[in-house]
Structures are given as C-alpha cells and as structure tokens.
C-alpha cells in the first residue's frame, strides 16, 4: 500500500502534451547554445518526445508549431507519430516572425496583412484536419510600444473581426484557444494581455473558442490558481502552457521555480474536474531548455506535473469543506499543507513499476544510451531551434 493507491484512478487520467520546440536548440537574445544530438527534423523531435512518453507513460502527444514544423505530408507525419506511440496535438500558429507583422497581425490596420495572418490560421486548421488535432493555438505578439502609436480600441474591433473569420473555419470537433500575455514583445500595450480580454473575445466567438493560460504570462504576484478556478467555473479554460518563471516569461521547467504554485494550480484543476478528458482541458508544456539537456528536461517536467497532481489529489476534500464552512482557518490551511508536504515520490515509483515503467525515468534515460546514440547519429544537417 502506498499513498497513491487511493488516487490511482484519477492519476491515471493525467496526460501531458509536450511541445516540439522544446527539443530544438533555444536560448536568449544573447546566445543560443547548440547541443549534440539536437533534432534536425520534426521527425527527430517526435522520436525524442516518444522517448519521454516511453519512460514516463505521461506524455502521449506532441504539439506542433507552424511554420517551424512544416512538412509536405502531414498524414505521413501523423503515421510516423503513431508508429512511435504518439499523437500529434495542438497546432500552434505563428504570426510573430514575419516582417509584415511588425505592426500587428490579426489586429493590423492593413487588411492585406490581416488576411495574410488569417490565411496562416486557415493553413493551421487544414493541417489539423489531416493530423486529427483538436486545437488551434493563437498567441499574438500584437501590441504597441508608445502611447498613441495605435488605436487600442479599433485594434480590438479588428481582432474580433479576424478571429471570427478563423472561428468560422473550424470543423465540428475543432477548437481555437486564445493565449494571453501581459507584455513582450510589445512593451506599452498588448492586444491580448490578460485572461479577461481573451475570455471576452472567446465568449463573443462561441463555444469552440477557449482561453489558453500560459503560467509564465502574468505579472509577478498574480494569483494564477484563482484564474484557473474562474475559467473552469465559466467553462472557458481550454488549455495550459505550463512552464515556470522567476522574473518574466522565463520558460523554465514547470514546477522548478515555485513547486507550491504548481500544486495550488493543480489543486484547482482537480477541484474543477480538469483531469477528466471529457472536460477538454489540455495540459501542455511550453518550455525551452537553454542550458540543461532537453530530453531529461522534458522528463523532469512531466514528472513535476505528476508529483504536484498527486499531492493535489491527496487533499482531504470533505474535511477541507467542513473546516472552511466552520470558519476553521488554520485547520483548513493545515489540510492543504499536509497534502502539499506528502512525499509522493516512492508511491509514484511503485505506480510506475506496476505499469511496467521504470521506477526512476531520469535514471532509466541515462542508462538507456539514447542520448549517446543521437549524439553520434545526428551529424550534418541543420539543428532545429526555437524559431526555425
Ligand atoms: C509566447 O511567449 C508563447 O508562450 C506562445 O505560446 C508561443 O507560441 C510560444 O511562446 C513559443 O515558444
Ligand atoms: Mn505559451
């Protein structure tokens, strides 16, 4: 018997989507360090993602970023993924790396530029049709740097207009998730800066439009779990981009900067039924591994999410409700902290072994020889990177 036995059914529902770009080289605007074994193609990224899933049983799908992962035949790519035990997941659009988008994409004052961005979204929807992906992710770099540079109000009107055109193109089982971010690359105003703006646009669009919450996209001190609770309550939380941050959008390993915050977020996900696939909340990572090795970085990430999910599931809910309703402030807090401080690692190791997975996926990766093999095999070609 371990602490996990009572929560195993819920825990079994946990599925995390990994981003293709996490396997490529990345860095800061100061330097991108190349790493041996880095994938040159989307196929090699999928193979690396499959290794993470094979060792953890937690990450059955991989998100694509277009144009970074553009190929001629998406059907063949989906079959390649399936042969590796993986599904292709969210298709991330990109309207932030083309000169035409300097002053905006879906919000641009020039209809030619807006249409170019809308056409790009249509391309992504077509890809989703072939790969069987459910979600189109839209994150916009749109914004301005100086007061007066743009008319914030008409930019909102154009945004809704453009999003409507994209929304109307979605198939029956497809959705659009609109991600917000409070600043960067724009420094004065951003067109989708917060969950409220994303929610307002999604509400106007309809039920297939939902909010994407990237944990690194808030001002310091923001109570993110409150936003999670509210969006789930409103039926409008479509997906997470998990990562962690010390300062801004650091894109570090989820749960590394503030494990307690990840626990509090997962407690609200569990409380809102968010682990149930029927509720349609995608748990994705959006990370870059600038200094650490990428595949172990991803393994660590999905394990961190699993550990905090297990702790969140251990909260004694009936006792917590009783304490809350009787005004027992410290009793209620103690119940939450008891769950947080429970060491679930031995229990999770046993859970893994019972499923034929390695007890310690980090060790198993080191022992597998996979890294040595890709370091040797992946010679020549151009290593993939964030943005290429
Ligand atoms: C923007 O900062 C963002 O979080 C969006 O999700 C992008 O698509 C992604 O990063 C690219 O890494
Ligand atoms: Mn993101």
What is 217-230 written as a DSSP string? SS-TT--HHHHHHH
107-160 confidence digits (pLDDT tens): 999 999 999 999 999 999 999 999 999 999 999 999 999 999 999 999 999 999
185-221 confidence digits (pLDDT tens): 999 999 999 999 999 999 999 999 999 999 999 999 9
- The Å distance, Cα 274 to ligand 1 centre, comes to 22
Q: How confident is the model at residue 349 (pLDDT cuts 50, 70, 90)?
A: very high
Nearest atom of ligand 1 to the alpha carbon of 288: 12
12-68 confidence digits (pLDDT tens): 999 999 999 999 999 999 999 999 999 999 999 999 999 999 999 999 999 999 999
- The Å distance, Cα 345 to ligand 1 centre, comes to 31
Nearest atom of ligand 1 to the alpha carbon of 216: 4
The pTM assigned to this predicted structure is: 0.98
* C-alpha pair distances (Å), 53 with each of 48, 116, 347: 9, 36, 19
- Percent of the chain residues topping a pLDDT of 90: 98
- Nearest protein Cα to ligand 1, atom 5: 139
How, if at all, do strands 237-242 and 282-285 pair? parallel
Q: How confident is the model at residue 1 (pLDDT cuts 50, 70, 90)?
A: confident
Tokens 């999905």, located at residue = 302
- The Å distance, Cα 286 to ligand 1 centre, comes to 7
What's the CA angle centered on 10, arms 233 and 6, to 5 degrees?
A: 125
pLDDT score of 388 more than 70? no
Please, which residues have CB within 8 angstroms of residue 387's CB and are 6 or more apart in sequence?
Answer: 68, 97
Question: What is the Cα–Cα distance from 292 to 254, expressed in whole angstroms?
Answer: 14
Question: What is the Cα–Cα distance from 209 to 198, expressed in whole angstroms?
Answer: 9
Give the chain's mean pLDDT: 97
Question: What is the Cα–Cα distance from 262 to 304, expressed in whole angstroms?
Answer: 9
Nearest-10 Cα torsion for 85, 87, 93, 97: 10
Q: What is the 3-state secondary structure (H, E, C) of 254-274?
A: CCCCCHHHHHHHHHHHHHCCC
* C-alpha pair distances (Å), 267 with each of 6, 128, 313: 16, 31, 7
Q: How many CB atoms lie within 10 A of CB 368?
A: 16
pLDDT score of 260 more than 90? yes
Grouping H, G, I as helix, E, B as strand and the rest as coil, residue 171 is coil
What's the CA angle centered on 14, arms 81 and 87, to 5 degrees?
A: 10
Q: Which CATH number fits domain 12-377: 3.30.1360.120, 3.20.20.150, 3.40.50.2000, 3.40.50.300?
A: 3.20.20.150
């Amino acid at each position: 018997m371990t602490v996990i036995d009572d929560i195993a059914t819920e825990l079994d529902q946990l599925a995390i989507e990994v981003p293709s770009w996490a396997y490529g080289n990345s860095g800061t605007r100061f330097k991108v360090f190349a790493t041996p074994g880095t994938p040159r193609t989307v196929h090699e990224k999928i193979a690396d993602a499959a290794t993470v899933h094979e060792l953890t049983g937690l990450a059955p799908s991989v998100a694509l970023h277009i144009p970074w992962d553009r190929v001629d035949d998406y059907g063949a790519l989906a079959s390649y993924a399936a042969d590796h035990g993986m599904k292709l997941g969210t298709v991330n659009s990109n309207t932030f790396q083309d000169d035409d988008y300097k002053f905006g994409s879906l919000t641009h004052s020039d209809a030619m530029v807006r249409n170019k961005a809308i056409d790009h979204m249509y391309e992504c929807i077509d890809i989703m049709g072939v790969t069987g992906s459910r979600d189109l992710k839209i994150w916009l770099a749109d914004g301005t740097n100086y007061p007066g540079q743009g008319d914030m109000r008409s930019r909102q009107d154009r945004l809704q207009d453009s999003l409507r055109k994209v929304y109307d193109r979605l198939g029956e089982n497809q959705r659009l998730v609109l991600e917000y971010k409070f600043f960067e690359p724009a420094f004065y105003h951003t067109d989708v800066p917060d969950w409220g703006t994303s929610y307002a646009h999604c509400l106007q669009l309809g039920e297939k439009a939902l909010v994407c919450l990237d944990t690194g996209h808030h001002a310091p001190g923001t109570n993110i779990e409150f936003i999670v609770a509210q969006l789930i309550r409103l039926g409008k939380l479509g997906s997470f981009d998990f990562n962690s941050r010390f300062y801004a959008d650091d894109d570090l390993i989820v749960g590394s900067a503030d494990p307690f915050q990840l626990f509090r977020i997962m407690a609200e996900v569990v409380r809102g039924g968010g682990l149930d696939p029927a509720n349609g909340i995608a748990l994705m990572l959006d990370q870059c591994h600038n200094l650490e090795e990428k595949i172990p970085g991803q393994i660590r990430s999905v394990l961190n999410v699993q550990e905090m999910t297990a702790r969140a599931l251990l909260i004694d809910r009936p006792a917590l409700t009783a304490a809350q309703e009787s005004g027992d402030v410290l009793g209620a807090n103690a119940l939450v902290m008891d769950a947080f401080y429970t060491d679930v690692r031995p229990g999770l190791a046993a859970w893994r072994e019972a499923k034929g997975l390695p007890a310690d996926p980090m060790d198993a990766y080191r022992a597998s020889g996979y890294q040595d093999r890709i370091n040797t095999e992946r010679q020549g070609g151009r290593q993939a990177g964030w943005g290429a």
